[in-house]
Structure formats: structure tokens, C-alpha cells
Amino acid sequence: MPEQDVTVGQLLLAEYESVKSEQRARIGFRDNLLYVTLAVVAAVIAAAAQAKQPSMLLALPPVCVVLGWTYLVNDEKISAIGLYVRDDLGPRLAELAARGGGFTTFGWEAHHRGDTRRRSRKAIQAVIDLTAFCAVPLAALTVFWSNGNVGGLLVGLSALEALAVAGLASQVVRYARAA
């Protein structure tokens, strides 16, 4: 059986396929997290209303923080993969393909970032993320606090939850500015 040498170009293309596959998987997972969050919020609100127990709303902040953080981390990794393809992998492949002669690869990776409406879409997405993962649990905490019939331990827990939600909100804003 003859030996078949693997070229650097083949290895780089295999790496490209691998990171793009990871990026696609992360995009699907990230996007589904918004739907999961909406379903959980609806279920908790319905259960709290049906049981007439505002304290059940205290389940929303930790769930939204965990789902929001997972969403944010996946979003950051999706962007990091795009940056790697644009700034590292693409130029190495272009150099091999053209032997240094101005050839570009993976043009879409850079082209779609130049869209004039990209900035407004990113801002709208940040508002959606803040609403889904931060405003909703803060509203749940407000309803809980306004109930008036709350114990000291639950108030303390709710204060910690508010801090966690505020921390997530700061990260959402920080990541939105960096993008």
C-alpha cells in the first residue's frame, strides 16, 4: 500500500472544517438557549400564579443567570472561531494557495462584518439578551419584593440573586461593546 503524504494545505482545510463544525454546533445551541429561557420563564410564572406563591419566582434569577451565562460564553466562542478563521487560518491558507501573492480565503468571514446594519443588529441583540436573561428575572424579584409577605432568609437569597443578575447584565453589555 503506497504512503500518501498529507499536505499542510490539507491539514489547514481539515482544521477549518473542524472549527466551522464547532461554530455551527455552538450557534444552534446558543440560539436554542433563548427558546429554553422563554419556556422556563413561562412555566415558572404559570406555576407561581396558579399556586399563588410569589416566592416561586425566586427560581427565575438563577435559571436565567445560568442560561444567560451559557448563551454568552457560546456567543463569545462563536465570535472567537470567526476571528481565528479570519486572522489566522485564512491567511495561512492564502499564503499556501498563492505563495504570497495577494490571494484571500474565506471572504465571507470578513465580508458579512462590514454590513452597515451590523452595529444596530448587535445593539438590538444586546437589548434582547438583557431582556431575556436580566430584565425578566429582575421583574420576578420585584414582584416577589412587592408581595410584602416575605421572610428574611428569602429576602437575603433574593438580594444575592439580584447581584448575580446585575453581574450577568454587566457581562452582556461588556461583550456587546467588544463585538
Residue 44 in contact with residue 139, Cβ under 8 Å? Answer: no
The per-residue pLDDT for range 115-171, each reduced to its tens digit, is: 788 888 999 999 999 999 999 999 999 999 998 777 889 999 999 999 999 999 999
pLDDT band at 178 (very low <50, low <70, confident <90, very high): confident
Residue among 55, 74, 54 nearest 133 (CA): 74
The per-residue pLDDT for range 93-109, each reduced to its tens digit, is: 888 777 655 666 776 67
Amino acid at 25: A
pTM of the model: 0.85
- Rounded to 5°, the CA angle 156-126-158 comes to 5
